[in-house]
Amino acid sequence: MDYETIRLSERDGVAVLTLNRPEKMNALNTQMRAEILHAVGSAEKTARVLVMTGKGKAFCSGQDLGDRANVGNLNLERTLRDEYEPMLRAIFDCSIPTIAAVNGPAAGAGANLALAADVVIATESAVFLQAFTRIGLIPDAGGTYWLPRQMGTAKAMGAALFAEPVTANQASEWGMIWEAVPDDAFAAHWAERARHLATGPSVAYRNVKRAIRGSMDNTLDKQLALEAKLQGEAGHSRDFQEGVLAFLEKRAAKFEGR
């Protein structure tokens, strides 16, 4: 598939999905959401890690309000259910590790697009903005799900009600993202993080995601049972055999993946 609003490249097991509407600060429109959905599915089949980032100065400024001739006729419920939900589920449920490399401002649905990834790495100059109440809306695109789980109810409520920018350093301190990185080291840093995951134990990574996600809704008994099941699967993998052998031989493991 030829993409117009994004770019998708892959090298050495690392797929990079770049939001490519820099003139619109990579705002999300109908076409971009469809292309992201397709690209995530495509990358999942061949790559070992997926990175999402933005071209230009912004990561993503959220919904493109100019995407419709008349914003008043925009059916937000239908758009969220038919366009946003499949895209977000594809990222959230992706079987390979996902990284959001937030290269600049991430606002509205753009901020929550980043939070759908497993790991968020942001440049220190980036900000996260739940801008929704500024135009009379509530956080969407998964924001009301991810924010309280990642930064706690108090911080999530403040971010949503006041619609004030959260700096990358604040987001890291509050547990909203994994880390904030100096601007001049950002590109090399996320690339190295991606390479690390691309050479790691794919079965274990997949099961880590399933276990941690499941813990949000499970009782202790159910979670212990899930852990045992997933660990059993990992224990039968070639990656586990290689990991133990490498440990005994005092060398770096060479995981096959997939």
- Torsion of the alpha carbons at 220, 225, 229 and 234, rounded to the nearest 10: 40
Reported CATH class of domain 6-198: alpha beta
User: Residue 68's pLDDT is what?
Assistant: 58
Distance CA 104, CA 83 (A): 24
How many other CB atoms are there within 10 angstroms of residue 165's CB atom?
16
Longest dimension (CA), the chain: 66
> What is the distance between the alpha carbons of residues 22 and 125, in angstroms, rounded to a whole number?
17
CA dist 88 and 62 (Å) reads: 13
pLDDT score recorded for residue 257:
63
pTM of the model: 0.92
CA distance 2 to 59: 21
pLDDT at site 66: 80
Both structure tokens of 153: 């109810």
| Whether the Cβ atoms of residue 231 and residue 241 lie closer than 8 Å to each other | no
- Which pLDDT score is estimated for 118? 97
What is the pLDDT, as a whole number, of residue 69? 42
Q: In this predicted structure, what is the pLDDT of residue 225?
A: 96
Q: Could you confirm whether domain 202-249 is CATH 1.20.1250?
A: no
Sign of CA dihedral 244, 245, 250, 254: negative
Closest CA to 121 of 40, 199, 176, 198: 176
**Cβ neighbours of 239 (radius 10 Å):** 19
pLDDT for position 41? 96
Q: What pLDDT sits at residue 158?
A: 96
Alpha carbon distance 113, 37 (integer Å): 12
DSSP per residue over 91-118, as a string? HHT-SS-EEEEE-S-EETHHHHHHHTSS
What length does the chain have? 258
β partners of residue 16:
9, 51
Which pLDDT score is estimated for 125?
97
Q: What is the DSSP string of 2-18?
A: --SSEEEEEETTEEEEE
Domain limits, the chain: 6-198, 202-249
How distant is the alpha carbon of residue 2 from its chain centre? Answer: 23
- pLDDT for the residue 74: 67
Average pLDDT per block of 10 residues along the chain, 258 residues long: 92 97 96 97 96 97 75 77 96 96 97 97 98 94 95 95 96 96 97 96 94 92 95 92 90 81
Residues in a beta bridge with 7: 18
